[in-house]
Structure 1
Amino acid sequence: MVLSLTKHFDPTQAAAYNSTGTSSTFEIHYVGVLGVAQNALALLSIADVPFKYVLPDNQDEAKKNSTFGFLPVLKETTADGTVLTIAESDAIERYLAKKFGFYGSNLFEETAIDQVLANTNAFIEQIHFKFFGLKDPAAQAEVIQAFVSTIIPKWAKHHEALLVANGSNGHYLGDKLTLADIRTATIISAATFFSGEEIVSETKTPALWKLKTSIEAIPSYVAWRKTDTYKALALKNKELIGF
């Protein structure tokens, strides 16, 4: 399947973006891994709405037809048959979070969430830019040492403090499940890939661990992670990047 996007920012579809998410069906078009689509997939599963992961028959053509030449792309079909397409993983996540109530309800809450997301983005970008482009084992080992000694501890310290200040209840903002929680839960796997449980663990960062285990206990998310589709994507992810 090739997703053809002949219109990108179509003003005639503006009203359809405000449709109730639970009345729509969704597809994530991507390249056969969890990758940068994993948070969008987590959001869809946690929202417990119908969705499919679509591996295009021709990935190059699918990328060519997307808004910016990249995948993933979200395709939403509303109850009246309107098809919406959204590019860029960060935009997809924020759109789904707002549609399903996993974002702020006012500017204060949105700004608090955005700060967490921005910091988490910066953390994961350091990993991608500094590690995954390296082929030399010695260079990789040097970068890992920097992650373990400086980058991961700094990230964990600040996020643990934020969660503790909110009562160590598994959330950054009151008792509300937000995109900030979901994105941090998936990022913990990156931190533990490099450092094991030396830095982030149940005993050393209990508030972060509470967040992770709370997300992983959501029944619809548990069900998604038990599917053959998820297992195949997770296996491919592990083959390519290690986690």
Structure 2
Amino acid sequence: MAYKLTYFDLAARGEPARLIFAAANVKFVDNRIKMPDWPALKPTLEWGQVPILQFGDKTLTQSKAIYRYLARKFKLSGTDEWESSQCDELVDATSDLVDEFVKFVFKEPDPVKQAEGKKNFITTTLPTFLGRINKRQMDNDGPWLVGKSMTWADIVVAEMLRQMSAATDPTALNGYPHVRKMIDAVFAHPNIKQYVDASRPS
């Protein structure tokens, strides 16, 4: 069964799904939408948004639903229901952080308020999140957020932190060694590294 992932030709919310495919070494059609084509495509979509995952005669939308489906399919959702629920918790918390990021980057038209939002994100919102993840990781023997092997939670958290820190403060991860260790482990995964080196969008 061939998978087709449709998203813009950039990272954002489409990239974690691409990384899950890469980690599992599963080939898929990476259908990247060009921005000029989006206005005509949008009204044809059930929810009017992307990413979209298609396989056979099935279509799935909503980014986290796609990540979660792929994680279950490719055995990246933990070893039991408790680990699976921990993955959900971490991704939901990261989604809350992304929502705060989106508010000032894409939804705030006033440049003064946008600058204030960015400052608050850099000085308060992001450090609070990083501190919590770092504290959680202190008791772990390995680099992973859940259990003893990489899960989709590691992939989603690592990728979204990469994107948000790059867009706001490249030094944001300094001082959080356990978070850094997890992110480095994700991107050192051979399959993910190969994908990133070959085709990662910005």
Q: Same fold (TM over 0.5)?
A: yes
- 1:210 counterpart = 2:193: no
- 1:35 counterpart = 2:15: no
| 2:62 aligned residue (88, 109, 115) | 88
CA distance in structure 1 between the partners assigned to 2:53 and 2:137 by the alignment = 31
- 1:65 counterpart = 2:73: no
Q: In structure 2, what is the equivalent of residue 157 of structure 1?
A: 131
1:159: Cα distance to partner?
Answer: 0.5
Q: In structure 1, what is the equivalent of residue 195 of structure 2?
A: 224
Superposed CA offset, 1:122-158 (max 9, x none): 0110110233223443322211221122101110110
* SS of equivalent residue, structure 2 residue 138: helix
Q: In structure 1, what is the equivalent of residue 24 of structure 2?
A: 47
CA distance in structure 2 between the partners assigned to 1:184 and 1:26 by the alignment = 23
Residue identity opposite 1:42 in structure 2? L
Query: Are the counterparts in 2 of residues 192 and 200 from structure 1 also a CA contact under 8 Å?
Result: no
CA distance in structure 2 between the partners assigned to 1:106 and 1:215 by the alignment = 21
| 1:172 aligned residue (135, 138, 145) | 145
Superposed CA offset, 1:155-185 (max 9, x none): 0110011111223x22112212111111111
* SS of equivalent residue, structure 1 residue 55: strand
Query: Are the counterparts in 2 of residues 66 and 87 from structure 1 also a CA contact under 8 Å?
Result: no
- 1:124 counterpart = 2:130: no
Q: In structure 2, what is the equivalent of residue 142 of structure 1?
A: 116
1:88: Cα distance to partner?
Answer: 1.1
* 59 and 195 in structure 1: CA distance in 2 versus 1, 3 angstrom threshold: closer
Query: Are the counterparts in 2 of residues 56 and 62 from structure 1 also a CA contact under 8 Å?
Result: no
Length-normalised TM-score, structure 2: 0.89
- 1:106 counterpart = 2:83: no
* SS of equivalent residue, structure 2 residue 4: strand
CA distance in structure 1 between the partners assigned to 2:119 and 2:32 by the alignment = 36
Q: Which runs of 4+ in 1 moved over 4 A?
A: none
* 61 and 136 in structure 1: CA distance in 2 versus 1, 3 angstrom threshold: closer
CA distance in structure 2 between the partners assigned to 1:192 and 1:208 by the alignment = 15
Please say which structure displays the higher CA radius of gyration: 1
State percent identity of aligned pairs. Answer: 22
RMSD: 1.9
**Mind listing any 5+ residue stretches in structure 2 that lack a counterpart?**
none
1:96: Cα distance to partner?
Answer: 0.4
Query: Are the counterparts in 1 of residues 8 and 14 from structure 2 also a CA contact under 8 Å?
Result: no
CA distance in structure 1 between the partners assigned to 2:22 and 2:13 by the alignment = 16
Residue identity opposite 2:13 in structure 1? V
Count of residues in Structure 1 that have an aligned counterpart in Structure 2? 199
